[in-house]
Amino acid sequence: MEELIPKTLIVLPCYNEEGQIAALLREIREHYPNMDTLVVDNGSTDRTYHVARALSPVVRHPINLGIGGAVQTGLKYGIDQGYKFCVQVDGDGQHPPLEIQKLILSHDIHGSNLTIGSRFIKNEGFQSTNFRRMGIFWFQHLIRILTGVTITDPTSGFRMYDHNAMHIFAQHYPTDYPEPTSIVIAHKKGLSVREVPVSMRPRLLGESSIQRFKILAYMIRVTINLIFARMRE
Amino acid sequence: MIVENEHFLSTQTKFLLLAIVLFYFATILYKAIRARIDIYDLLLLASLGIFVMAFAIFPDAILWITKIVGIQFPFLLLFGGLIFILFIGMFRMLEKITEMESKITTLTQELALWKNREHPTDRRP
């Protein structure tokens, strides 16, 4: 299938994923030998850079810019190198590489600018914790109010950008709470957004940047951010 | 505070305030000439000194404003005015910080991409 797809880059934003990144890159290469990968080392303090560069090109940030900054770097690289599509796959191994083909198939059929892999359409695989699901459902309703679009998994970082989306987000990608905010921005910029059911894995190593007891504060901040994103030019 | 006749500032206090303000103006002007603060910040800081100087030179006018506004003590007007000017300065600094954060992000990304172009890391077999 990958032979039929124009030049596609798989972007893996990573922060301290030395234990996971090598296996993930090998798994991607096994399933998609003709696709290129780019690891964006987001200021890791461990050996992520050294482990990854044996298996993939790596762009290394001297400081951590957050997930939004890392994804934006990947998109800028993709445009620089002439890629037509970018697939964002988290470096923590939660996004099974085999599911990438579902994003590609969905784009083939529907031609959407932004294709998001959702855990909550078929409710397969790892469904996240109860606390987080509460937050996700809140954002789902808020985004529907703000944009009229229903996105069941607005915090999913498993997504595919076409050339138009790459250009827009390479210039303006939100650094704060990028996943849900980028959906509002996509809507404002006239990009089509579509979801496809995927199965995800639990994080194998490391810990999330959003801890349980900070989720309420996170929800309040993201809510304000989404409203401002809708109002901004 | 020594009250002489209807004035709430003594002559000594007025001279002391003026001396402090003039020293303050000289300091911030020196910093601005050495490009350690920009012109907008210079004007904002200078307005603090001008506010205090107005108290020293025109105490009767300040007393009059205090009576009109309904504040009990003239120095409350002084402190309120100073805090208001400081708030304006604080908002400006917050704006600058946000702008700098955005610039740092862009610079970091460009640096990382440039380094990758100059020294590609693709070592795949």
pLDDT digits (tens, 9 = 90+) for B71-118: 888 888 888 888 999 999 999 999 999 999 999 999 999 999 999 888
Residues of chain A contacting B115 with CB distance shorter than 8 Å: 59-60
CB atoms within 10 A of CB B20: 14
Q: Give me the interface pTM, i.e. the ipTM.
A: 0.78
pLDDT of residue A90: 92
pLDDT of residue A67: 93
B116 with A54: Cβ contact below 8 A? no
For the cut 80, the answer to whether the pLDDT of residue B125 exceeds it is no
pLDDT of residue A233: 63
From edge to edge, which strands make up the β-sheet containing A8-14? A58-61, A36-42, A8-14, A85-88, A159-161, A114-118, A193-197
pLDDT of residue A215: 77
For the cut 80, the answer to whether the pLDDT of residue B26 exceeds it is yes
Average pLDDT in the B42-57 region?
Answer: 88
- The mean pLDDT value of chain B amounts to 85
Residues of chain A contacting B104 with CB distance shorter than 8 Å: 63
State how far the Cα of B32 lies from the Cα of B46, in Å rounded to an integer: 11
State how far the Cα of A177 lies from the Cα of B6, in Å rounded to an integer: 60
DSSP SS3 for A101 = helix
The residue in chain B having the minimum alpha-carbon distance to the alpha carbon of residue A55 is B124
B105 with A175: Cβ contact below 8 A? yes
A77 with B116: Cβ contact below 8 A? yes
pLDDT of residue A211: 62
pLDDT of residue A203: 66
- Tens place of pLDDT per residue across chain A (233 aa): 444 556 999 999 999 999 999 999 999 999 999 899 999 999 999 999 999 999 999 999 999 999 999 999 999 999 999 999 999 999 988 899 999 999 999 999 999 999 999 988 876 666 667 777 788 888 999 999 999 999 999 999 999 999 999 999 999 898 877 999 999 999 999 999 999 999 988 766 555 555 666 777 888 888 888 888 888 86
B109 with A54: Cβ contact below 8 A? no
State how far the Cα of A84 lies from the Cα of A166, in Å rounded to an integer: 8
Residues of chain A contacting B105 with CB distance shorter than 8 Å: 65, 69, 72, 175
B124 with A55: Cβ contact below 8 A? yes
Q: Are A222 and A177 in contact (CB under 8 A)?
A: yes
Q: What is the pTM of this model?
A: 0.81
Q: What spatial distance separates the first Cα and last Cα of chain B, rounded to whole Å? A: 83
For the cut 70, the answer to whether the pLDDT of residue B10 exceeds it is yes
For the cut 60, the answer to whether the pLDDT of residue B3 exceeds it is no
Q: Are A74 and A41 in contact (CB under 8 A)?
A: no
Query: Given A55, A56, A69, which is nearest B109 (Cβ)?
Result: A69
State how far the Cα of A141 lies from the Cα of A159, in Å rounded to an integer: 20
User: Which is it for the CA torsion A27, A33, A37, A39, positive or negative?
Assistant: positive
